[in-house]
Amino acid sequence: MNAGKSTILLQASHNYRERGMNTLLFTAALDDRAGVATIASRIGLKQQGHLFSDEDNLFEQIEDKLEKNFVDCVFVDEAQFLTPKQVWQLARVADRLGIPVMTYGLRTDFQGKLFPGSAELLAIADILREIRTICHCGAKATMVVRLNADGSVMIKGAQVDIGGNERYVSLCRKHWEEKMGFWPSIEADSPTLKFEE
């Protein structure tokens, strides 16, 4: 959150278009804060894109658009909301159609757990680049907390709850742990990470 992912996506798309190339932009259907199918940054940049939802076959959609107009690059905002199957569809776009695909999204949710789309991207992406923001202490922020209406930190809840600065705060791992009020531990007989409250 607050690292400028959408700004960087829009700038990269602009660079392609400035050179006479065509880009295809996608954003998650469930995030309509800036308007339907609109990719917008906090600094005011915005551009219309195409929506994706869980049921969509992105390979087929891109292949269909390719028949009508050449596509030089595909950009996906809110990539954490991709399904693992859609991540593989985008990999197929890169591998079989020869079109670069750049995805931008969050790695983990407010509880520090990977989103399914992010997990698949981390597993199969050719290149990973971290876009950084900072915690209030000045350290690199890698986590987010979700806020309740009264400003207190939410510990439990659904993985997806669309919101911006009014709902989420980016923190370093140390301050995230302090705000969440628990710390992870690994039991000797279990390879899974458990949270102790």
Q: What positions carry a catalytic annotation?
A: 78
Return d(Cα 9, Cα 82) in angstroms, integer. 16
The residue count for the chain: 197
Can you spell out the DSSP letters for the chain?
--S-HHHHHHHHHHHHHHTT--EEEEEETT--TTSTTEEE-TTS-EEE-EEE-TT--HHHHHHHHHHHS--SEEEEESGGGS-HHHHHHHHHHHHHS---EEEE--SB-TTSPBPHHHHHHHHH-S---PPPEE-TTSSEE-EEEEEPTTSPEE-S--S-----TTTEEEE-HHHHHHHHT-EEEE-TT--SEEEE-
Q: How many other β-carbons are positioned within 10 Å of the β-carbon of residue 98? A: 7
User: Which structure tokens are listed for 42?
Assistant: 């906090």
Return d(Cα 116, Cα 87) in angstroms, integer. 10
